[in-house]
């Protein structure tokens, strides 16, 4: 349980860290991209202001003066294209690489002829009249390469960073879970110890009350409180045994069960045992499809699951109703044991809770009929201990169906499995 808990926390942490890491990479790449673009714009602006003095606007058309070659724009000129256009957008001359020989008035970045360039253009005015345009084009390869390299580095680092996160979270969740583990362990031990301690007096009270009742009735004496004391002692014994069983199931670490059992045989023997009680309450108990299915489990576990489900079917079905039991092997992987009744049903809002300990849909009614609300939690714990699942469908007033799915064993031997230390009990 706690190992799973640790893994779950570690996986959640790695999942969330991965999402954060991806977000971080994207934000980082965007930051790189925009700040490099901004610095390119800054560079274009500086160069444009320097070149402004090197353009002769006195003639009809703007021209670069010769001394442009010696101005401070020299380093920029080897990569930057500097173009002069006339007022109608026709290219007049250029320095540096040709770039894209077209005037772009609206764009800040263009891609054409295999070039991707950052653009800055400015109007050239002479005596209040537009005489042409100066356009600067700077390749963006450097910016794109930097951004790409940043992303590649982050991707290459991702497995190391995330494994580190995973390892740390596994260690930290182990430390965080330790006190909870100790607390739950102490609680389980307490329930088991309390169960053991209560079991003996409960058995003694029950046995003595029954014997006293017998003795008194032999002498023709009737003491009206005694049957109530007997029933209460029996109920107490039943609750104590169920609590001990749950404590044992909680503390049990799954270990491979040696040997397999035929589920059909167990169902048939439990049905034979319950038959008279169903007859007595005038409920029709019918076995339906009964496939042979070998399951790797303890005989007592399957027996207990069935007894609890049949006990409920008997308890919550009115006389004249019907209960059907089937055992269907689906393909070769699993067997489904269905216990279906035409009883009072379970309201939809209670379906999720009925497997919780001490939960009863109608507490007063269940208590009156001897129920303590532990039966289905035992069913679920036992089913899970055999790697199975239990489902319920129900409609109030119509009936309820419990389906227990168990994995079919690959082995065909009929050796009985190990047994639980605690005697498995159901209310009688
Ligand atoms: N077949 C059923 N039809 C209608 N209600 C059911 C049925 N099975 C279970 N329930 C409801 O689910 C509750 C929980 O069942 P569960 O078997 O855990 O407890 P219980 O039968 O009351 O007591 P216990 O089994 O411990 O003697 C019951 O109190 C009952 O309200
Ligand atoms: Mg029950």
Question: In angstroms, what is the span from residue 245 Cα to ligand 1's centroid?
Answer: 17
Atom 21 of ligand 1: nearest residue by CA position: 371
**Pairing relationship of beta strands 55-56 and 322-330 according to DSSP bridges:** unpaired
For residue 34, the model assigns a pLDDT of: 95
CA angle, residues 25, 27, 32, in degrees to nearest 5: 90
Task: Give the integer Cα–Cα distance in Å for 414 and 397.
Answer: 41
Question: For residue 287, what are the β-bridge partners?
Answer: 325
The closest of 131, 110, 134 to 122, measured between CA atoms, is 134
For residue 4, the model assigns a pLDDT of: 73
Fold of the 2-146 domain: Beta-Lactamase (3.30.450)
Q: How many CB atoms lie within 10 A of CB 122?
A: 15
Enter the tokens of residue 366: 């269940």
- Is 394 exposed, middle or buried, given 0-12, 13-18 or 19+ CB atoms closer than 10 A? buried
Does ligand 1 come within 6 angstroms of the Cβ of 388?
A: no
Residues 6+ apart with CB under 8 A from 209: 226, 229, 230, 233
- DSSP 8-state code for residue 408: B
Cα(first)–Cα(last) distance of the chain, in Å? 33
Q: How many CB atoms lie within 10 A of CB 80?
A: 24
Question: In angstroms, what is the span from residue 312 Cα to ligand 2's centroid?
Answer: 5
How many CA atoms lie within 13 Å of 147's alpha carbon, on the beta-carbon side? Answer: 17
Q: What is the dihedral of CA 374, 380, 385, 386, to 10 degrees?
A: 130
Atom 23 of ligand 1: nearest residue by CA position: 371
Task: Give the integer Cα–Cα distance in Å for 141 and 161.
Answer: 29
Task: Give the integer Cα–Cα distance in Å for 379 and 366.
Answer: 17
Residues 6+ apart with CB under 8 A from 423: 241
Domain boundaries, the chain: 2-146, 261-407
For residue 196, the model assigns a pLDDT of: 87
For residue 411, the model assigns a pLDDT of: 54
Confidence of residue 72 (pLDDT cuts 50, 70, 90): low
Relative orientation angle of helices 225-251 and 375-385, to the nearest 10 degrees: 30
Summarised one tens digit per residue, pLDDT across range 320-368 is 999 999 999 987 789 999 999 999 999 999 999 999 998 988 866 666 6
pLDDT of 149 higher than 90: yes
Confidence of residue 70 (pLDDT cuts 50, 70, 90): low
pLDDT of 421 higher than 90: no
Task: Give the integer Cα–Cα distance in Å for 241 and 235.
Answer: 10
pLDDT of 78 higher than 70: no
- DSSP 8-state code for residue 90: -
For residue 69, the model assigns a pLDDT of: 57
| Least confident piece of the model among 271-280, 288-297, 413-422 | 413-422
- The ligand minimizing its distance to the Cα of 359 is 1
Residues 6+ apart with CB under 8 A from 54: 64, 65, 67, 68, 71
Summarised one tens digit per residue, pLDDT across range 404-417 is 999 998 655 444 44
Hey, which of 246, 373, 399 would you mutate to test ligand 1's pocket, going by the most ligand atoms within 8 Å of its Cβ? 373
Helix (H) or strand (E) holding 288: strand 284-290
Task: Give the integer Cα–Cα distance in Å for 91 and 94.
Answer: 8
Does ligand 1 come within 6 angstroms of the Cβ of 312?
A: yes
User: Domain 261-407, CATH 3.40.47.10 — does that match?
Assistant: no
Question: In angstroms, what is the span from residue 312 Cα to ligand 1's centroid?
Answer: 5
Report whether 207 contacts 237 (CB < 8 A). no
Confidence of residue 213 (pLDDT cuts 50, 70, 90): confident
Question: In angstroms, what is the span from residue 223 Cα to ligand 2's centroid?
Answer: 30
Does ligand 1 come within 6 angstroms of the Cβ of 340?
A: no
Name the 3-class secondary structure at 273: helix
pLDDT of 396 higher than 60: yes
For residue 31, the model assigns a pLDDT of: 94
Hey, which of 281, 376, 427 would you mutate to test ligand 1's pocket, going by the most ligand atoms within 8 Å of its Cβ? 376
Confidence of residue 312 (pLDDT cuts 50, 70, 90): very high
For residue 365, the model assigns a pLDDT of: 65
Tokens 């216990």 sit on residue: 339
Task: Give the integer Cα–Cα distance in Å for 166 and 133.
Answer: 59
Summarised one tens digit per residue, pLDDT across range 82-133 is 899 998 999 998 888 878 888 998 889 998 877 889 999 999 998 888 999 9
Report whether 339 contacts 309 (CB < 8 A). yes
pLDDT of 423 higher than 60: no
Does ligand 1 come within 6 angstroms of the Cβ of 366?
A: yes
- The ligand minimizing its distance to the Cα of 426 is 1
For residue 191, the model assigns a pLDDT of: 87
Residue 84 region by backbone torsions, left for phi larger than 0, else alpha for psi between -120 and 50, else beta: beta
Q: State the chain's mean pLDDT as an integer.
A: 86
State the pTM of this model.
Answer: 0.65
Q: Which ligand 1 atom sits nearest the alpha carbon of residue 376? A: 18
- The ligand minimizing its distance to the Cα of 242 is 1
Atom 13 of ligand 1: nearest residue by CA position: 360
């Amino acid at each position: 349980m706690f190992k799973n808990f640790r893994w779950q926390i570690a996986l959640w942490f790695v999942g969330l860290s991965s999402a954060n890491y991806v977000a971080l990479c994207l934000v980082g790449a965007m930051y790189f991209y925009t700040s490099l673009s901004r610095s390119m714009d800054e560079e274009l602006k500086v160069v444009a202001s320097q070149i402004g003095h090197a353009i002769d606007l006195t003639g009809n058309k703007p021209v670069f003066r010769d001394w442009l070659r010696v101005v401070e724009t020299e380093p920029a000129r080897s990569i930057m294209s500097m173009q002069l256009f006339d007022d109608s957008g026709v290219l007049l001359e250029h320095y540096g690489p040709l770039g894209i020989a077209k005037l772009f008035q609206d764009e800040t970045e263009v891609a054409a002829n295999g070039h991707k360039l950052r653009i800055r253009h400015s109007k050239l005015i002479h005596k209040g009249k537009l005489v042409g345009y100066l356009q600067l084009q700077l390749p963006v390869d450097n910016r794109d390469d930097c951004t790409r390299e940043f992303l590649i580095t982050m991707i290459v680092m991702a497995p190391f960073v995330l494994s580190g996160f995973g390892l740390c979270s596994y260690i930290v969740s182990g430390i965080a879970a330790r006190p909870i583990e100790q607390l739950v362990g102490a609680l389980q031990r307490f329930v088991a110890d309390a169960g053991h301690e209560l079991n003996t007096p409960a058995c003694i009270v029950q046995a003595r009350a029954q014997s006293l009742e017998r003795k008194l009735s032999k002498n023709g004496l009737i003491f009206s409180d005694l049957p109530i004391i007997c029933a209460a002692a029996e109920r107490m014994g039943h609750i104590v045994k169920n609590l001990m069983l749950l404590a044992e199931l909680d503390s049990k670490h799954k270990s491979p069960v040696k040997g397999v059992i035929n589920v059909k045989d167990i169902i048939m023997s439990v049905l034979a045992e319950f038959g008279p009680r169903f007859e007595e309450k005038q409920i029709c108990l019918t076995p339906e499809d009964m496939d042979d299915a070998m399951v790797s489990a303890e005989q007592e576990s399957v027996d207990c699951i069935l007894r609890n489900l049949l006990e409920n079917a008997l308890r919550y079905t009115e006389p004249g109703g019907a209960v059907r039991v089937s055992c269907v092997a689906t393909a070769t992987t699993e067997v489904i044991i269905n216990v279906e009744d035409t009883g009072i049903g379970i309201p939809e809002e209670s379906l999720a809770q009925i497997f919780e300990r001490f939960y009863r849909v109608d507490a007063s009614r269940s208590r009156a009929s001897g129920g303590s609300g532990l039966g289905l939690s035992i069913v679920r714990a036992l089913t899970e201990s055999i790697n199975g699942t239990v489902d319920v469908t129900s409609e109030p007033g119509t009936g309820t169906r419990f389906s227990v799915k168990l994995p079919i064993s690959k082995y065909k031997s009929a050796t009985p499995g190990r047994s639980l230390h605690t005697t498995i009990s159901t209310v009688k």
